[in-house]
Amino acid sequence: MIRAVIVMNTQGKPRLTKFYDYMPPEKQQELIRRVFGVLCSRAENVSNFVEADSVFGPDTRLVYKHYATLYFVFVFDSSENELAMLDLIQVLVETLDKCFKNVCELDIVFNYSKLHTILDEIIFGGQVLETSSAEVMKAVEEISRLETASNTITLVPKSISGWRS
């Protein structure tokens, strides 16, 4: 099971956090700080896989990928495959690139709800739902289309003297 997804910048500022196990916000912030401490102390030429027992408890692993100014981090237990999680990070980043045309940190900051929608199409409740970037994009576009349709107001003539919505 995936326990958390964290996207943070290289200064340790979280841009997206999604914990699939309940934790109080203070505990989440402490864990994010500890994850950042682990990531920023690692050399560039080492593996992207980290044993996270000391941070998240026993039987926990962490996979991360560093793109430009962002770290994409997945925390999971032994029921998940490390290489599959690394591939899932790639799916998330590819989908974001398709959505935002070369995603950057500001895209994530200013499109927070869309990012959550994308993540919810890939992972829900800690379980992987979709691994195809194209399928995720179809679902996100459909959700956006439905949101736009529900937000539009159609004016219809009520009578000769007035309008109703």
pLDDT at position 100 is 85
Q: Helix 112-122 to helix 133-151 angle, to the nearest 10 degrees?
A: 130
pLDDT at position 160 is 56
Per-residue pLDDT tens digits for 20-57: 988 899 999 999 999 999 888 888 888 888 887 777 87
- Residues in the chain with pLDDT values less than 70: 152-165
pTM above 0.85, yes or no: no
pLDDT at position 91 is 93
- The beta-strand segments (E) located in the chain are 2-9, 14-19, 49-51, 60-67, 70-77, 123-124, 127-128, 156-159, 162-164
Tokens standing for residue 33: 């700080």
Q: Give the start-to-end residue ranges of the domains of the chain.
A: 2-164
> Does domain 2-164 fall into CATH 3.40.50.880?
no
